[in-house]
A and B are shown apart, each in its own frame.
Chain A
């Protein structure tokens, strides 16, 4: 069964450093998402991406964040200068059609720890 994959599974970085979280969505999917989950809290939407551009972003997704689909398979989330409060699980998701009609498939997540 096709699945969303994410690398690395755990990333430790120092405050102020740049990190890139990588995702490989399901191959025939067109819509891509990043969510994050701070430990013990609910999953929060960060950004959606379609047709090589951002469709929607939340207030969390400020200028320190960016997303890119550098090739036909990868989807990345970059945090330019990490802060302590960026420590969280980051989930990538993809769907074949826009939510409301079909489900989003989530990857296993990358645990980001900022020290």
Chain B
């Protein structure tokens, strides 16, 4: 069935290092993917998105990579900062409406 999952529930990195958060999805019909950041007590905050006709998209300090062959999505954060500590969710949309299907989330901890 449709599902979006994450490989690791937690990730701990040193401040200044690069972080890579991974996500696997199973619905080959999905054509729009989003990364959200959720800080404690807050709602999901949009980070970056990518459509299925792209392999890579860059934002400020963040890069999303999409590998449709293996149905894999990753979020790379460059020079990770303490303010990046949060839970990161990937989400997918199958272009059949606005519904987003979220993954389980990865908790990123940045050590000073």
Query: Which residues of A are at the interface with B, using a C-beta cutoff of 8 A?
Result: 4, 31, 33, 35, 41-45, 48, 50, 55-56, 58, 91, 93, 95, 98-101, 103-109
Contact = CB atoms under 8 A, between A and B. Distances in A.
Contacts of A109: 42-43
A35 B34 CA distance: 16
A85 B81 CA distance: 37
B98 A98 contact: yes
Contacts of A41: 104
A43 B102 contact: yes
Contacts of A45: 99-102
Nearest to A107: B43
A7 to B, nearest CB: 13
A95 B104 CA distance: 23
A4 B105 CA distance: 22
Contact of B97 (A35, A48, A91, A106): A48
A48 B99 contact: yes
A35 B98 CA distance: 12
Contacts of A107: 43
Instruction: Output the residue of B31, B34, B51, B97 with the most chain A CB within 10 A.
Output: B97
B105 A100 contact: no
10 contacts: A33-B100, A43-B102, A50-B98, A55-B98, A56-B98, A98-B98, A99-B98, A100-B95, A100-B98, A103-B34
Nearest to B5: A42
A108 B44 CA distance: 8
A58 B99 CA distance: 9
Given A55-B98, A99-B98, A103-B34, A42 B103 contact: yes
A104 B89 contact: no
A85 B46 CA distance: 28
A96 to B, nearest CB: 11
Given A91-B44, A107-B43, A44 B102 contact: yes
Contact of B104 (A4, A42, A91, A104): A42
